[in-house]
Structure 1
Amino acid sequence: MPISEERVRHLLRRTEFVDRQARVDQLTGLASIEAAVDNVMAISAPSALSLGSGSDWERGQNFVRAWLDQMAGTSRPFRERMAFFWHGHIPSELGKVNSAPFMAEQIELWRSDGVNGNVGQLLKDMSLQVAMLRYLDNDRNFAESPNQNFARELMELFVLGVGNYVEADVEASTAAWTGHTAHWETGAYSFVVERHEYQAQTFLGRVINQNTKPFKDAGFQTIDVMLGLGDYAGGGTVPVGANLNRSTRSVAAEFLSKKLWQEFGEANTGTVPDGVLGDMVDALLDNDFDIRPWVRAMLVHDDFYPDTNPAVEGGLVRQPVEYMVALMEATGRNSSQVASLWLMDQAGQVLLYPPNVSGWKPNGYWVNASAFEARNRIALGCIWEIFDDYWSETIPWEERYKNFIQINGTKIYQDQIVGASLDSDDDPYNPPAPWHPFLTNEQLVDRLLDAMDVHYSNDTRQSLINFCASHWTDSPGSSANPPGSGNQYERRDVVLLALLAPEMHIN
């Protein structure tokens, strides 16, 4: 498949949060888009993120910041982007789990196995982690007092989708998952064999929980049936609805592929092009639900790219976490400097705190007045950090020419934005030494966008230039902006507008 800068930028924005110029240059030098995809997916094993110290709440906050820093700071962020996908598709929530270390354990599973693992094994590992046991109440699912919450959501939200099972399947799965709990004192996982329902069950047309040894593996059989793995090759059979009599293996592959496409492809049409859906489903079925070939099938398909499928261009609104990562990348700041977690909450998304077991919704869910007001305030927080001490009144005026904003190592000095003097008739185009040369509106915008390492449309660039021009005309001696009039000071606000540009909010 041919490679182009347009395709590479699209690939990077969807898989690595942003399209950094160095990565664009690196990938466009490869022979094909397949080679670029393989490069993106060439990730290393992760190092565990730090929980730090303090109360459990503080450790949770530390972990969120560490994860944001990893998203923005690593050279190959696709591992973190896929972990973020799994966190939304199979969520747990810190408030209910009530343990930052147990939540961290779940996120580390997504980080370690979310690209190179297997869907079936991922589900099995997740199911016995204390975070999920607590979140969906399977730690209270016992033979004498069954709790159906986990068994139901495993089918409905995680693997098969709505309407592909009947209540008898919920009851059978619930029985198979009995006996798993967390120690009342230490919180550690344990299996209480006396509280397991060991009677055989019929689940989606297949017999499970029949003389299973060890008993605690009985629940795993529900996953094997749904995905058609191990002793349950071919899978179960959907007993009802539009997929009546279809193999659960095929239904699961289709359901998961639609979820992945909605996260990385586009979420406006509610459909997946037949060609890419077929390739994704085949990749899962042909590889017993290994994750890497499945994701790769999507990323190398022509329909993933705007030049073939216009629906994907701008087809995803950046989630607040993605927006925060883009801001961190654009400003060169870390999460402690710019990531106000309470403002992210106002925008609708904080890591470790999904709204419910369905996770976060795409696109329109993020487009409303209150959410965008929160994004504006998040960007303002970045501005306060960038301009920290920029206008310090404690620095003598004759020294203020040394003040500058710094973005990713690029310095833009105060006198380059507002001219040589606040209260004199000095010509900003010819300032006396040691002032720095005044930047024209076009020069200022281009210097800023280069420093931010962003690729904006010509229309967006021109809008930023026009904003600067509304406060300063690039004509020495212009009657509209006489030297010393003060209008040029407002050019500083172009930094905020650049952080709020349309390209910062869509992928």
Structure 2
Amino acid sequence: MGLLAFKDAAHLVSRTGLGAEWDVIKQLEGRSKQEAVEWVLNPKLSTLKSAPPMTPWLKLEPMRLTDMKSRNSAWAISQREGKRLQAWWVEQMLATRTPFLERMTLFWHNHFTSSIQKTLQPSLLYQQNLLLRRHALGSFAELLQAIARDPAMLVYLDGHQNSKDKPNENFARELLELFTIGRGYYREPDVKAATQAFTGWRVDYQTGKFVIRPAEHAGGQHTFLGKTGSFTGDAIIKILLEHPRTAENLTEKFWLAFVSNRPDQVLIRTWAQQLRQSSYDIKGLMRTVLNSDAFWMPANRGTLVKSPVELVIGTVRMLPYPRESTQEMLNLCRLLGQELFDPPNVKGWKGGEHWISTQTLLVRNAFLSKLSRGNLNEKVASGVAIPDVPAEQLVEWLLPVKPLKPLPETPGARRLVRSLLLDPAFQVT
């Protein structure tokens, strides 16, 4: 395996980080691909910012269950604290030394969606974020078991209301459709059987913690995906993990997030089989993806549209422009269609070409135009600086493919960088 040229290192950093940061690219340039991938997959620990003040479950939840005035007050508190939580994550992404972990946490946040507007419990969403971080590169099997017990998820998908006397199918349906095997591989009786298995999985009213209440569990024999038994929730999860479509579904999501917008179904099935054989080792799957010929193929570069987080956070991490305020960055991400802790629905953000519309493209260009008016010679808090290198290398650094617009004829790094930021090729990675 050959050593990484500069443009190859830039490709790896852009796809796995938050912005193609110059110093990181230079650290990986000249290493073997395998060594560089291991460097990405095994980052040094980075300090997590302290959590913002949030009202605990026991104080906030009773307010939502009493009179209208208390309910309105609870809603106002959750919205205010939700904004703080969003700002906390933006500031974490700006400051982190391990952007790959943030990117993986964001990947799982979009796979296992929960929102402020539905849960009205920012403290639970914070705990869910910590859960996603802990399992981000661990075992998907363990992550799935943990998310099924996660209080924010139980509230978001009404699992905490699922009892033998009043079954609620929301969590069971999304477990099958979105988290594991996907549409076309289950029937309505399977949803009902899974619903029965998860009855009694609740959130303790006093603590806001997960609890199983056996008295609320529906016993009896049920048939799920061709298997018959008296199932618990854990048994349902085990059956789903054994199903080939769970690994295939997950692997395809990784392909679309890290490789290209054109899935190779043969390769995806091969990787999925390896994933199942590894007991759903996420880091192992990422190692396979990042070492694959498909990941490094020139035809697959510039095929992924940058998400709003990648565009906004990534650009300000890369370049020495004066930064927008945290609130302005949050507002930009919202206008561009990606509001942290508040995805549009249970399916999360569609991503890909859906990030781009006539309206969002105008906002993207306005942001980059405004940002690049800053003084490139001005040292800012991030400590980054524009590298003193030939123009050709600046192009390789900032664009994954050749620029689509003519470069400025007048020389100068500041002018060139502004031109590259406003080139359509900067919108992709």
SS at match of 2:325: helix
Please report how far the alpha carbon of residue 27 of structure 1 lies from its aligned counterpart in structure 2 after TM superposition.
1.7
2:202 corresponding residue in structure 1: 181
CA shift in 2, pair 1:346/1:72, >3 Å? same
| Alpha-carbon separation, structure 1, partners of 2:48 and 2:384 | 32
8 Å Cα contact 1:321-1:350 kept in structure 2: no
2:223 corresponding residue in structure 1: 202
Q: Does 1:319 align with 2:311?
A: no
Q: Does 1:62 align with 2:84?
A: yes
SS at match of 2:53: coil
Render the CA deviation track for 1:382-420: whole Å, top value 9, x for unaligned: 468x46xxxxxxxxxxxxxxx9744555789xxxxxxxx
Q: Which runs of 5+ in 2 are unaligned?
A: 55-76
Q: Following superposition of structure 1 onto structure 2, how do residues 180-259 of structure 1 map, counting pairs within 5 Å? A: 180-184=201-205, 186-209=207-230, 218-228=232-242, 248=243, 250-259=244-253
8 Å Cα contact 2:302-2:428 kept in structure 1: yes
Please report how far the alpha carbon of residue 139 of structure 1 lies from its aligned counterpart in structure 2 after TM superposition.
0.9
8 Å Cα contact 1:9-1:19 kept in structure 2: yes
2:14 corresponding residue in structure 1: 13
Aligned to 2:398, which of 438, 451, 455?
A: 455
SS at match of 1:340: helix
2:290 corresponding residue in structure 1: 299
Aligned to 1:500, which of 401, 422, 427?
A: 422
- Aligned-pair identity in percent equals 29
Aligned residue identity for 1:37: V
Q: Does 1:373 align with 2:365?
A: no
Please report how far the alpha carbon of residue 209 of structure 1 lies from its aligned counterpart in structure 2 after TM superposition.
3.2
Please report how far the alpha carbon of residue 251 of structure 1 lies from its aligned counterpart in structure 2 after TM superposition.
1.7
Please report how far the alpha carbon of residue 322 of structure 1 lies from its aligned counterpart in structure 2 after TM superposition.
0.9
8 Å Cα contact 1:119-1:290 kept in structure 2: yes
8 Å Cα contact 2:46-2:96 kept in structure 1: no
SS at match of 1:318: coil
Q: Does 1:141 align with 2:141?
A: no
SS at match of 1:198: coil
> RCO (CA 8 Å, sep 6+): is it higher in 1 or 2?
2
Please report how far the alpha carbon of residue 186 of structure 1 lies from its aligned counterpart in structure 2 after TM superposition.
4.8
| Alpha-carbon separation, structure 2, partners of 1:4 and 1:460 | 22
8 Å Cα contact 1:314-1:506 kept in structure 2: yes
1:341 corresponding residue in structure 2: 330
| Alpha-carbon separation, structure 1, partners of 2:310 and 2:8 | 20
CA shift in 2, pair 1:46/1:457, >3 Å? closer
Q: Does 1:124 align with 2:145?
A: yes
8 Å Cα contact 1:69-1:335 kept in structure 2: no
2:65 corresponding residue in structure 1: none
8 Å Cα contact 2:301-2:400 kept in structure 1: no
Q: Which moved more, 1:344-353 or 1:37-46?
A: 37-46
Render the CA deviation track for 1:63-91: whole Å, top value 9, x for unaligned: 32332333343333211111111111111
SS at match of 1:66: helix
SS at match of 2:117: helix
8 Å Cα contact 2:34-2:291 kept in structure 1: yes
8 Å Cα contact 1:51-1:62 kept in structure 2: no
8 Å Cα contact 1:257-1:281 kept in structure 2: yes
1:26 corresponding residue in structure 2: 27
2:279 corresponding residue in structure 1: 288
| Alpha-carbon separation, structure 2, partners of 1:346 and 1:110 | 25
2:408 corresponding residue in structure 1: 465
1:482 corresponding residue in structure 2: none
Render the CA deviation track for 1:188-244: whole Å, top value 9, x for unaligned: 33332221112232211223435xxxxxxx21111101112xxxxxxxxxxxxxxxx
| Alpha-carbon separation, structure 1, partners of 2:142 and 2:8 | 33
CA shift in 2, pair 1:173/1:46, >3 Å? farther
**Normalising to structure 2: TM-score of the pair?**
0.83
Q: Does 1:98 align with 2:89?
A: no
SS at match of 1:465: coil
Q: Following superposition of structure 1 onto structure 2, how do residues 425-464 of structure 1 map, counting pairs within 5 Å? A: 454-456=397-399, 460=403, 463-464=406-407
SS at match of 1:344: helix
Aligned residue identity for 2:350: K
8 Å Cα contact 1:344-1:378 kept in structure 2: no
In angstroms, what is the RMSD of aligned CA positions? Answer: 3.3
| Alpha-carbon separation, structure 2, partners of 1:406 and 1:462 | 29
CA shift in 2, pair 1:358/1:193, >3 Å? same
| Alpha-carbon separation, structure 2, partners of 1:286 and 1:409 | 44
CA shift in 2, pair 1:497/1:185, >3 Å? farther
Q: Which runs of 5+ in 1 are unaligned?
A: 211-217, 229-247, 388-402, 413-442, 475-490
Q: Following superposition of structure 1 onto structure 2, how do residues 142-157 of structure 1 map, counting pairs within 5 Å? A: 142-157=163-178
Q: Which moved more, 1:80-89 or 1:12-21?
A: 12-21
Aligned residue identity for 1:320: P
Matched length: 403
| Alpha-carbon separation, structure 2, partners of 1:130 and 1:273 | 35
8 Å Cα contact 2:90-2:326 kept in structure 1: no
**Normalising to structure 1: TM-score of the pair?**
0.71
2:101 corresponding residue in structure 1: 79
SS at match of 2:50: coil
| Alpha-carbon separation, structure 1, partners of 2:197 and 2:400 | 55
| Alpha-carbon separation, structure 2, partners of 1:339 and 1:77 | 21
Please report how far the alpha carbon of residue 39 of structure 1 lies from its aligned counterpart in structure 2 after TM superposition.
0.8
